[in-house]
Chains A and B, each alone.
Chain A
Amino acid sequence: MLSIKDLDVHYDDVQVLHGVTMEVRATEIVTIVGANGAGKTTLLKTITSIHRSSKGQIWFEGERIDHLSPHHIVDRGLIRIPEGRKIFPTMSVLENLELGSYLPKAKALRSESMGKVFDLFPRLRERTRQLAGTLSGGEQQMLAIGRGLMTLPRLLMLDEPSLGIAPLLVREIFRTIREVNHQGTTLLLVEQNVFNALDMAHRGYVLENGKIVLQGEAHDLLGNEYIKESYLGI
């Protein structure tokens, strides 16, 4: 579904990604784990054309997409839910969700998608009139995911969905993410919370200093000695 080949990305003179090659297949949950600053967010931003690569190719459903504008990427169903949520703070919950279905295809199914989002996150239904900026961190994350789902994603990329959220809500959010996957959306999950991410995913990649150093079935990675030692502290 998504295939990245030998990707290099620079910020000015500093190279952030070095020859990243990876793949996400339809209906999978794939996770990219790694420490802060490893280049995980940069990778997602490059996939969505917010950054440009200096070398390599990105393919989505058989088409090369690394020259497209960000809104064209969204229109194809490649959706990123950014780290830090980036919801529209002085708009209501409802308006945030409506803007998720801003593009024509998504707009045509607006009320249907909204119903699904409210089924996944009943808390949002109770707070449609509330300003998004006044929600708790966890609720904001739900809203960000809900807004992402409104865009009718084919591949949903989540950047650190558990960051800065109360543990109880983290569990709820992860449960919902899994539910979204069961309903047929492919997921690419970027996490510092290595155990939770690998526990949920089918496959995983470990990114260190902009390079992929390990990859494989999530279950195998969980048992891997290096990962246990460096990331799980066991």
Chain B
Amino acid sequence: MNFPGLPLLLQSIVSGILMGGVYSLVAIGLTLIFGVMQIINFAHGSLMMLGMFTTYWLYVLMGVDPYLSLLFSIPICFVLGLLIERFLITPVLDAPAHNQLLLTLGLSLFIENLALFLWSPNFRTLDIPYLQTAVTVGTVMISFPKLVAFFFALLLTAFLYYFLKNTDLGKAIRAASMEREGALTVGINLRWVYCLAFGIGTACVGAAGTLSAPFFYVNPSVGGIFVITAYVVVVFGGMGNFIGALVGGLIIGVAESVGAAFFPGQLKKFIIYFIFILILLFKPEGIFGRRSE
């Protein structure tokens, strides 16, 4: 174990919070789908990878700025989510949980292998000079693309929160997640709400993909790196809990980053899995409780 000095600790905390914003966005997509449909989407990571590749190819082939490609990756992933729900998830909605789990896992393998076939397993990066810049505040160095990712992740989260809290459609989604039968009795079309929730969840993770592409590598299996952490965040914040996923993402981001400062490289995820196990053992409903939103 290393004992980092104060500057390193500060640096870790700041980096962790910035990274946490992206984790939050990924986890919000996951927790929204779980909250509404009670389905754990194992294809979430592959869908994030598709968001990253959308941004990558738009830049490489057409010179589209990576942040501008949010305007493409969000609707593309949203529609993709709608289609996946409609044609793959709807048929297994009433099936036992393990069937649903195997289906989304199968979908994930399919998407990743298709990506391997089409785009090879090579690690690719966006080679744009302005993405290499950083801002320095005191001793803390803030990478520009991470700062932008954090800003957009929070912006999208705030936008989604407003939608869920204040629009009729958003309220219908929340209603369906807290009380299915009640939702049916007021005339909410549950099949449409499920479709929509899956679409929004996928759009979230697609946006997170786009926002990560400027500071991470892009390859077919990259989604798993973010999404495994996002599962920890979802459990930590309470499955189906929006605010839990938001705050949890930031906390887990900091835990990971500070963990990396204390422990050698191979053990950098040690702290978050340790937290994961503690939560499962002692507070399985999550820090913020299940589905309070």
From A106, which residue of chain B is reached at the shortest CB distance? B187
B191 to chain A, nearest CB (A): 8
With contacts defined as CB atoms under 8 Å apart, how many contacts are there between chain A and chain B in the complex? 74
How many residues on the A side are at the interface (Cβ–Cβ under 8 A)? 30
Question: Across the interface, which residues of B come within 8 angstroms of A81, CB to CB?
Answer: 185
B292 at the interface (CB under 8 A from A): yes
B171 at the interface (CB under 8 A from A): yes
Question: Across the interface, which residues of B come within 8 angstroms of A147, CB to CB?
Answer: 182, 185-186
Contact of A151 among B171, B187, B292 (CB under 8 A): B187
Question: Across the interface, which residues of A come within 8 angstroms of B293, CB to CB?
Answer: 90
Chain B interface: which size bin?
10 to 19
B185 touches A102 (CB 8 A): no
Question: Across the interface, which residues of A come within 8 angstroms of B182, CB to CB?
Answer: 82, 85-88, 147
B178 at the interface (CB under 8 A from A): yes
From A157, which residue of chain B is reached at the shortest CB distance? B185
Q: A99 and B179 in contact (CB under 8 A), knowing A70-B184, A81-B185, A147-B186?
A: no
From B178, which residue of chain A is reached at the shortest CB distance? A88
Q: A86 and B179 in contact (CB under 8 A), knowing A91-B171, A91-B174, A102-B172?
A: yes
Question: Across the interface, which residues of A come within 8 angstroms of B175, CB to CB?
Answer: 88, 91, 99
A75 at the interface (CB under 8 A from B): yes
A67 at the interface (CB under 8 A from B): no
B189 at the interface (CB under 8 A from A): yes
Question: Across the interface, which residues of A come within 8 angstroms of B168, CB to CB?
Answer: 98-99, 102, 107
A154 to chain B, nearest CB (A): 13
A200 to chain B, nearest CB (A): 22
B127 at the interface (CB under 8 A from A): no
A71 at the interface (CB under 8 A from B): yes
Binary interface encoding of chain A residues 33-77 relative to chain B, with 1 for a CB under 8 A from any of its CBs, else 0: 000000000000000101000000000000000000111001100
Contact of B171 among A71, A80, A85, A95 (CB under 8 A): A95
B279 at the interface (CB under 8 A from A): no
Give the CA-CA distance A107 to B191 in the complex, in Å: 21
Question: Across the interface, which residues of A come within 8 angstroms of B172, CB to CB?
Answer: 99, 102
Give the CA-CA distance A102 to B167 in the complex, in Å: 11
Give the CA-CA distance A217 to B185 in the complex, in Å: 29
Question: Across the interface, which residues of B come within 8 angstroms of A95, CB to CB?
Answer: 171
Give the CA-CA distance A150 to B185 in the complex, in Å: 11
B189 touches A69 (CB 8 A): yes
A192 to chain B, nearest CB (A): 19
A138 at the interface (CB under 8 A from B): no
A74 touches B186 (CB 8 A): yes
A102 touches B184 (CB 8 A): no
A86 touches B181 (CB 8 A): yes
Contact of B188 among A48, A71, A80, A85 (CB under 8 A): A71
Question: Across the interface, which residues of A come within 8 angstroms of B171, CB to CB?
Answer: 91, 95, 98-99, 102
Give the CA-CA distance A99 to B179 in the complex, in Å: 12
B185 touches A48 (CB 8 A): yes
A210 at the interface (CB under 8 A from B): no
A75 touches B174 (CB 8 A): no
A222 at the interface (CB under 8 A from B): no
Q: A71 and B187 in contact (CB under 8 A), knowing A98-B171, A99-B172, A102-B172?
A: yes
B179 to chain A, nearest CB (A): 5
From A84, which residue of chain B is reached at the shortest CB distance? B181
Question: Across the interface, which residues of B come within 8 angstroms of A107, CB to CB?
Answer: 168
B189 touches A99 (CB 8 A): no
Which residues in B have some Cβ–Cβ distance to A below 8 Å? 168, 171-172, 174-175, 178-179, 181-182, 184-191, 292-293
